Amino acid sequence: MAGKILTLELERALVGRDEGVPKLGAFVLAAMISLILMYGVWSNTSSSASPGIPTVGKDEKAKTIWQLKMLWVNQAKRLIYDTLGKSNKPFQLMASTGPLIILPAHFMDEVRNDDRMTFAAALKKDFFSNYPGFEGFRPAVENHVFTKSVRIGLTQAIGQVTELLSQEMAGMLRGMWPVKDEWTSTEFNQNALAIITRLSSRIFLPEPLCHDQEWLDIAVNYTVDFFTAAFVLRMWPKGLRPFVHWFLPQTRKIRKEVADATRLIEPELARRRKEKAEALAAGKEPPRYVDALAWMQAAAGEQADRYNYVWGQLNYSLGAIHTTSMTFVYVVYDLIEHSEYIPLLREEIAAVWKPGDVLTKNVLYNLKLMDSFMKESQRLSPVTLMPMNRVAQETVTLSDGTVIPKGAGLGIPITAMTDEKYHKDPLTFDGHRFYNLRQQPGNETKYQFVTTSNEHIAFGHGKHACPGRFFASNEIKIALVQMLTTYDFRFPPGQNRPVPLENGVSMVPDPRGQIQYRRRQD
């Protein structure tokens, strides 16, 4: 059945589209490929990265590569947590990306800063950087321009960026949510996406391009389409991927989005090149900009003329929008579930800020209870169960004798975040948990939302921890300040918190999940 579905998907991709492929030729081609595909999908080839590490999944009537991958998609959380609960030792299973070694949390110090196990290789392996449409990560990975631009450009400009975000947010929410006294229902996941996309684009691109609706649509859709295309492509045997990616509707769609993004951004790049040349010819200093295009140019250095800024801009959208918006959604859901914190947070806001003022970096830092609440929400409602991913660049032997072969993918799940060894009553929501820890002498700068540790790896940990987490933190806080000071919000009567959708290790908010808002009544 799975082989038939994939064959029909390929035929649909080839027939009835506007690429000019003859229908008869497409049918014959699909039929020929289906024969190869049937073997690739149903063959019982190796699903192991290392023969010395126990394999999980094959005892659940999942025998073929296809079946094992679908088991991961549908039941990854159960497989990981149940296996580690029985034996807190390394094991392996078939993920959608291929064989994956799962390491228990106590291996964190051995992995997080070991250059023999790198995150860059994990990105390159996972994102199919050799295929058109997926090559957006190739320049960023190979030249380290993207990460450097975030660590240096965005992080160093965080004070100036925060004030720009505050100004952008001031009128945006009221335009989205008209201020009125009647309760109004809205699909908050879509609202959160729109808010974070607008805020991020305001910083990553200059005006008026950052407000262009076509670009905003690309910024939202590219990430979803990128991972959807990657997921579909992973379901095909590796030998067929270099061919089928040309015909799959999902991969063709992201190629079009790259082309559209190039059409929108290239005129701005050309304008800056001309502006710079004229300034230098006149013996003047070229203009300086505060946006991702400028940060990438600075990070690229001598390679600035060769770097693809459109790909880099799409990488910013990949890294900044969806994970931040999902975290934002879960924080709001937790505020509604634990509504006793709403007046406490409003008091904290009123003590350091008044409506109409610009929110500054210092104001946001002093929202310590809000910061604690966000971290607790992230602890119990993470957007992924396994943010720590690596690929071994050489064979590595761990302290317990486990051998990680060269080229093997590995990951560490977030089990420590709900482990009673590190957190009292680990499954109970306590918005003051990290606030109280920061009150202890010596802990003033610890346990912040952006702080990573062996016990809290939602942003990863070590040298490859998410470099954009400081920006994400400020975006969410700015949005929360505006929401809390202007609106009341709740779940619709008779409805509970929307249940997230599980896809592998991703915990995605239900796009149909609703909340209600009205003018703040007190």
Q: Which residues are annotated as a binding site for heme?
A: 466
Whole-number Cα distances in Å, 319 to 118, 299, 338, 459, 471:
18, 17, 29, 12, 11
Amino acid at 221: N
DSSP H helical ranges for 15-129: 23-42, 65-86, 108-111, 119-126
Of 161, 118, 71, nearest to 360 (Cα)?
A: 161
Neighbours of 14 (CB within 10 A): 23
Q: How far is CA 88 from the centre of its chain?
A: 28
The number of residues in the chain equals 522
Residue 117: its H or E element = strand 117-118
DSSP secondary structure letter of residue 55:
B
Rounded to the nearest 5 percent, the helix, strand and coil shares of the chain are 55, 10, 35
CB contact at 8 A, 463 and 118: no
Helices (H) and strands (E) in the chain, counts: 21, 12
d(CA 21, CA 466): 43
Specify whether the CB–CB gap between 502 and 222 falls below 8 A. no
Q: Classify residue 388 by burial, with Cβ atoms within 10 Å: 0-12, 13-18, 19+.
A: buried
Q: In terms of DSSP bridges, do strands 409-412 and 98-102 run parallel, antiparallel, or are they unpaired?
A: parallel
Q: Alpha helix locations (H) across 353-501?
A: 361-365, 368-380, 433-439, 469-486
**Cα distance between residue 126 and residue 129, in whole Å:** 8
Q: Could you give the CA distance from residue 475 to residue 516 in angstroms, rounded to a whole number?
A: 22
Structure tokens at 28: 């014959």
Tell me the C-alpha distance between 473 and 475, whole Å: 6
